[in-house]
Structures are given as C-alpha cells and as structure tokens.
Amino acid sequence: MEVLPTSSPVFMVHRREPEFIAPSKPTPHEFKYLSDIDDRKGHRFHFPAIFFYPSKTDDASTASTCKGKDPVDVIRKALAKVLVFYYPLAGRLREAPGDKLIVECTGEGIMFIEADADVCLNRLGGGDALKPPFPCLEELLYVPPGYQDFLNSPLLFIQVTRLICGGFIFGVQFNHTIFGGPGLGRFMIALGEIVRGEVSPSIPPAWQRHILNARDPPQVTFDHREYDATMSDNNTLPLLIPQEIDYRYFFFTGKEEGALRAQLPVHLQACSAFELLTACLWRCRTVALGSDPKARVRVVMAVDTRWKIKPPLPAGYYGNTMVYPAAVSTTEKLSRNPFGFAVDLVKKAKNEVNGEYIRSTADLMATKGRPIISTEGTYFVSDVRKTPDEMIDLGWGKELYGGCAIDNQCATLWMSSFYMSYRNNKGDEGILVPVGLPRLAMNKFVVEIQSMTMIKPSVQGLHPKTSQLTSLIYRKSAL
C-alpha cells in the first residue's frame, strides 16, 4: 500500500466562498429542546466524517443515477430540499437554564463549501482500499474562522470536493449534540433519496427528544464507571502528544479469531467477535504500556441502545442513542490472568446495556452536571463496521469509504480504536483496526498480539516513517 505523508500537502484544494443553504420551503420557527443524552458536555464539539465517491460504479445493481452531472450542483439542490424535512438542522443552538441546550429553528441554513482538488481517488487509496488516516484532511473538511463555537453557529458544515478523475469527496463536520454517527447516517440516507429523485425521505425524521430526558425524579441505577473522575492515585499511564505516537493497522480474519477463541473456557466461546477483539486489544495494549501493576485501566465501548429502548423509539429518530459502558481492571489482573478474564469483563460490561442503562445515563447527566467520560487509564473502542445495506448512495453509487475522518494529527487517536470492515488486495475480508502507541510500546504490542494469535502477522505502518507491514486477520461476526 502506498503510504502518503501527512506532514505536508500531497494535493491542492481550491475552495469557493462558503455559502448558506436554507430549506427550499418555509419551515416552522420554533424552539426544540435536546435530550439529556444529546446535550452532555462530551458532545459539545463538531465531529468530522467523510465519504469518498467514484465517478461511476462497477456494480450494476447500484448503477449511477447522476452520471455526467456536477455533484456540487446536485447535492446543493438536494440539501435545500432535505432540510425542509430536517428543518431543525437549519437552526442554531441556544443555552437555557440548567445547562440545557435548545435548537432555535431559525431556517438560517447549514454552511456549504464548493471545492476542487487536483488529485484522483486512486492516489488516495493506492493499490489498496481507502482507509484512514487520510492525507490533507484539513483540505477536505472546513469550518471557517469565527464559527468554531458550537453555539450560535451552523449545525452542519459540508464541503463537496470534485476530483480530477470525476469522483468527489463529501466532507461534513456536524454538531455532535444534534446527532451521532447513526443519526448522520439517517440524514445522509434521506439526502441520497432526494438526490435520486424521491420527493421525501422514505422514513420521515422524528425529533421527540423528550423520550431520552431524565426521569422525574432521576434514578441513577448503574455504577457508570465510565464517568469515574479518578480511578487510582497510582495510575501512571501518560497523557501523550500525537508526535510521540506510532500508528499502525491491524487486520483480523477468521484464522486469528479461531486462535483467540481456542484460549477461552467453554462458557465464553460463544462471545461475539466484538467482545473477543476488544478484550484482546485492551489486554495487549495494557501490557505494552507497562503501567503500575496496581493502576486501574478500563476499556470504554460505544454501544447503540436504539433497539433496546422500550417503548421503541420512532423509526425516524435521529438523536444520540449511544452509551459508553466500561470494563475495569487493574493492570496486574488484566495482564496476568488467562485471556478469558478480559473477555468476561468486556462481555459483562457490554451486556449491562439495556433500555434502563440509557435512562440511568440521562438521570446521571441531569444530576451530576453532565460529566465527561474520564480519559485516565482509558482505551476507547467503537465498532463502525457497515453492511452493504448501510452504505449511502448519493446518486453516484455507494461510497468507497464512509465514516470517521481521521488523520495522523488526531490528538486522541492514541487513546482509541475503531473497527472497520475491510477487504485487502488478496480478497481477504475482515476487520481493520488502527492502533496508536508510543514507538517502544508499539513494538511490545505487536509481540503481544503475535503471542495471543500464535500467528506471525505482517504489519502495516500508519506513520510515514514506518516501513513494516502488520496484518492480523478476522472473520466478520455478529456484534
């Protein structure tokens, strides 16, 4: 795979002046409260996502409906139409008493940037499939100066960048209090339907954020270890800066999954692939970092509760529904116990999540000042794998990549990993996981992974100075 440098631009982007896109028809002027899950302090920032589209698709079942048309013009017009249905997104956030957030539906619109880049998609992906970290990401996502404040600013910043090969890149930065990844996906699906000629979204958007407000009176019924401010005075895990970190990909298929499952007692062998992989990465990372044996460490998992809430949320609900359960251990216990110990901790933490868990989280937000998840001794994991049905057709076929917009300058990438569906050049399918660690710790991490899987991996360095290639393999399995 070609590894493009991230320290200097490899292509140039020319942007037009930003413009506002308002709903194409009049919309109500009203005030809409966010839920207590939405407006937690940890959501008060703009989250970046990016989608890459070729000039045409080779898949006849998703043949392009917009071939030969200008993607900027098509998407600009479709955005104005879809905002009629998602009209709160054209408003602005306001603060209310009690640290609550409200959307004033002003109809001012979202911010749109038209751009052109002197690069082809195949240069961004080389001979391999597209995957983060992406070069020159700051050229493909844009928030103009003066709009960094999450209050009183547009709720979406969208840049559509034409490529010289005829493809394009859809970059978006969205206010995380309005929705998370699943909510963005719902909006993007609706946008794609409008692009392809539908007059309205097939699933009408639903606000109804009151469903996930704190109860009266609040009842915090779980421990919520993810919000523990300080777990141990002896914790020695360092807060590192990105320049000190070595980033690499790890690719897992069924062969390694089988090796990991073989180490588990019978009662744990039916664990999900997510639980298996999370326990393995958490354990190997903890050993590699070599913190104080008595220090507490945790893995925090992003878990969607949408399908666990009763009564069910409306089909078109696009608010935040994620919770973040944590598995906690000391370094000594996690590293010295059999692998099943880590799997059992992860499985129990994840299985705690139900409809009551998200309601308990809402109650915690309302009663404890909307705390932020502690980063002390914490490793974050998120499963962003997609099925073909979840991919988004904006009229040019489904994306080559769609999801987190990550580059090597991301200050928190060393603390987190996300799981992506991936197929390599040989046709092997599995899960690709970026991991960031200090260089010496990364070397230890690779040794630990080799030992856990009993396979010699090949390692692919994310850092431009890394020439080795690592590959660990894994078959997709239901979460």
Residue 43 falls in the annotated catalytic set: no
**What is the number of residues in the chain?**
479
Please identify which of the residues 39, 393, 407, 463 carries the catalytic annotation: 393
| Tokens coding 315 | 């089909």
d(CA 155, CA 183): 13
The helix (run of H) or strand (run of E) holding residue 401 is strand 401-404
* 393 catalytic per annotation: yes
Assess contact for 139 and 13: CB atoms under 8 A: yes
Given the structure tokens 């141990």, which residue do they identify?
232
Q: Which of 43, 176, 224, 463 is catalytic?
A: 176
279: which 2 tokens?
């326990």
* Alpha-carbon span 183 to 33, nearest angstrom: 17
Secondary structure of residue 441 in the 3-state scheme: helix
- Residue the block writes with tokens 């098509």: 74
Distant-in-sequence, close-in-space partners of 296: CB < 8 Å, separation ≥ 6: 231, 232, 235, 328, 329, 330, 331, 377
Query: Alpha helices of 235-373 — where are they, by DSSP H?
Result: 254-261, 273-289, 331-336, 339-351, 355-367
The CA distances from residue 138 to 91, 157, 300, 342, 408, in Å, are 25, 13, 28, 38, 11
Q: How far apart are CA 275 and CA 290, in angstroms?
A: 23
Helix (H) or strand (E) holding 194: helix 181-195
Enumerate residues 6+ apart whose C-beta is below 8 A from 335.
283, 286, 287
- Per-residue tokens: 352: 């705690």
- Amino acid at site 42: G
Q: What are the φ and ψ backbone dihedral angles of 139, each rounded to 5 degrees? A: -85, -20
d(CA 276, CA 257): 8
Enumerate the active-site residues. Answer: 176, 393
